[in-house]
Structure 1
Amino acid sequence: MTISEKVAYLKGLAEGLNLDTEKSKEGKLISVMIGILEEVGLSIEDLEENALALGEEIDVLSDDLADVESVVFEDEEDDEDEEDEDDYFEVECPNCEEPLIIDDEALAAGEIQCPNCETRFSLDLSDDTVEAEDEEDQ
């Protein structure tokens, strides 16, 4: 039962009491209170309808925004993935066989030191692969 239906029921009960709304103070009071309840009920129903409409509009905007984000940030995510793939390399220490991740700076320097066993070794860039060469063997 909606608020308007409840107010209409209350109004029917008051009319069934045959209250004199013109001369009786109590009848006037009840009549005015029922009138106010009718207005409040209608206002609440309008607010509920507006809230539902706004919720639907927000859902549509949210979906549209998600589409825009996927288009805009998809390119950035692809770029980040490519940067991550290009910026780091993994090699194995020739002494302790510990996997090491090196970046472009270490690759450009051509020489790194294993943080595990502290062996210094150079990097061989032949055949487009990164291979570790132990400096002690050279």
Structure 2
Amino acid sequence: MTISEKVAYLKGLAEGLNLDTEKSKEGKLISVMIGILEEIGLSIEDLEENTQALGEEIDVLSDDLSDVEDVVFDEDEDEDEDDEDYDDDWFEVECPTCEEPLVIDDKALADGMIQCPNCHDKFALDLSDDTVEADEE
């Protein structure tokens, strides 16, 4: 039973008692109190309706935000996949002179000669056995 229904029941009880709302002080008081309760009941029902509507709007916004998050995070995952593909074009070798790790690309690998940026020593790459090894020259 809603608050408005309870107030209506209370109003019906007061009318059933045939309270004299014109002459009796108690009757006037009860009549005014029932009027106030009716207004409060209507206000509460309006608040409940507004709360339900806001809750539905929040659900819609939450779904939209979830869609946005999916798009944003999917782009990050795609970039990571691109980075993995990009890593295939780079190789790491160690300088035979200073033992500094060097990262080289396909072009440097195809040239066959590498100059270490650390010690400036030049060396050739041995591509036998599908491994990249440095041979000093």
TM-score under structure 1 length normalisation: 0.62
Question: Contact between 2:126 and 2:132, CA under 8 Å: does it hold in 1?
Answer: no
Structure 2 matches for 1:39-54, cutoff 5 A?
39-54=39-54
Aligned twin of 2:94: 111
> What is the CA–CA distance in structure 2 between the aligned matches of 1:11 and 1:59, rounded to whole Å?
39
How many residue pairs align between the two structures? 108
For residue 132 of structure 1, report the CA deviation from its aligned partner: 8.5
Aligned twin of 1:33: 33
Query: Taking structure 1 as reference, are residues 17 and 126 closer, same or farther at Cα in structure 2, changes over 3 Å only?
Result: farther
Aligned twin of 2:79: 79
Aligned twin of 2:58: 58
For residue 43 of structure 1, report the CA deviation from its aligned partner: 0.5
In structure 1, what residue type is equivalent to 2:80? E
> What is the CA–CA distance in structure 2 between the aligned matches of 1:125 and 1:54, rounded to whole Å?
69
Aligned-residue CA RMSD in angstroms?
Answer: 3.3
For residue 64 of structure 1, report the CA deviation from its aligned partner: 1.4
In structure 2, what residue type is equivalent to 1:71? V
Aligned twin of 1:97: none
**65-74 or 18-27: bigger deviation:** 65-74
Q: Deviations over 1:33-74 (max 9, x none)?
A: 100110000001011111111111111111112112212221
> What is the CA–CA distance in structure 2 between the aligned matches of 1:126 and 1:71, rounded to whole Å?
42
> What is the CA–CA distance in structure 2 between the aligned matches of 1:8 and 1:58, rounded to whole Å?
33
> What is the CA–CA distance in structure 1 between the aligned matches of 2:126 and 2:69, rounded to whole Å?
40
Stretches of structure 2 lacking an aligned partner (at least 5 in a row): 103-124
Q: Pick the structure with greater CA Rg.
A: 2
Q: Deviations over 1:66-121 (max 9, x none)?
A: 1122122211122134436766xxxxxxxxxxxxxxxx8x92xx239xxxxxxx8x
Stretches of structure 1 lacking an aligned partner (at least 5 in a row): 88-103, 113-119, 134-138
SS at match of 1:18: coil
Aligned twin of 2:14: 14
Aligned twin of 2:106: none
Share of identical aligned residues, percent?
71
> What is the CA–CA distance in structure 1 between the aligned matches of 2:15 and 2:126, rounded to whole Å?
98
